[in-house]
Structure 1
Amino acid sequence: MAKPAKSAAIAELAEKFRTSNAAVLTEYRGLTVKQLTQLRTSLRGNATYAVVKNTLTDLAAKEAGVTAFEGQFVGPTAIAFVDGDPVEAAKGLRDFAKANPLLVIKGGVLDGRALDADGIKKLADLESREVLLAKLAGAMNTSLSRAVYLFAAPLSQAVRTVDALRAKVESEGPVAAAPAAPADAPADAPADDVAPSGDADA
Structure 2
Amino acid sequence: MLKARKSEIIEVLRAKADRAGIAVVTDFKGLTAEELTDLRVKLRAAGVDYQVVKNTLARKAVQGGTHEALAVHFKENCAVAFGYDDPVAAAKVLVDYAKTSKKFAIRLASLSGKIIDEQGVKNLSTLPGKPELLATLLGTMNAVPTNFVGLFANMIRGLLYALNGVKEKKEAA
Please report the TM-score for the alignment, with normalisation by the length of structure 2. Answer: 0.88
Aligned pairs (5 A) from 1:1-202 = 1-45=1-45, 46-172=47-173
The Cα of 1:54 is off from its aligned counterpart by: 0.6
Instruction: Give CA deviations for 1:27-63 in whole Å, capped at 9, x if unaligned.
Output: 2111111111111011123211100111111111113
* CA–CA separation in structure 1 for the residues paired with 2:65 and 2:142: 42
Runs of 4+ in 1 over 6 A off after TM superposition: none
The answer on whether the counterparts of 2:67 and 2:112 sit within 8 Å (CA) in structure 1 is no
CA RMSD of aligned residues (A): 1.9
SS at match of 2:108: strand
Point out the more displaced range, 1-10 or 44-53.
Answer: 1-10
Say which SS state the counterpart of residue 128 (structure 2) adopts.
coil
TM-score w.r.t. length of structure 1? 0.76
Letter in 2 for 1:35: E
Q: Is the 8 A contact 1:27 1:105 kept in 2?
A: yes
Would you tell me which structure has more helix in proportion to its own residues?
2
Distance 2:21 2:66 in 1: 14
Give 1:128 shift. 2.3
Partners of 2:69 and 2:27 lie apart in 1 by 15
Q: Please report how far the alpha carbon of residue 5 of structure 1 lies from its aligned counterpart in structure 2 after TM superposition.
A: 2.2
What secondary structure does 2:72 align onto? coil
Q: Which residue of 2 aligns with 1:179?
A: none
Structure 1 stretch displaced more, 74-83 or 123-132: 123-132
Q: Distance in 2 between matches of 1:24 and 1:68?
A: 12
Q: Is the 8 A contact 1:68 1:108 kept in 2?
A: no
Q: Deviations over 1:86-141 (max 9, x none)?
A: 21221111111111122121111223332211111101111222333333344444
Which has the higher mean CA deviation after the structures are superposed, 6-15 or 47-56?
Answer: 6-15
| Structure 1 position 64, deviation (Å) | 1.8
Q: CA deviation at 1:144?
A: 3.9
Q: Which has the higher contact order (CA 8 A, sep 6+)?
A: 2
- 5+ residue gaps, structure 2, are none
Aligned mates of 1:71, 1:131 — CA distance in 2? 35
Structure 1 position 4, deviation (Å): 2.4
What code does the residue aligned with 1:18 have?
Answer: D
Provide the aligned length of Structure 1 versus Structure 2.
172
Give, in whole Å, the separation in 1 of the partners of 2:82 and 2:112: 12
What letter is aligned with 1:126?
A: L
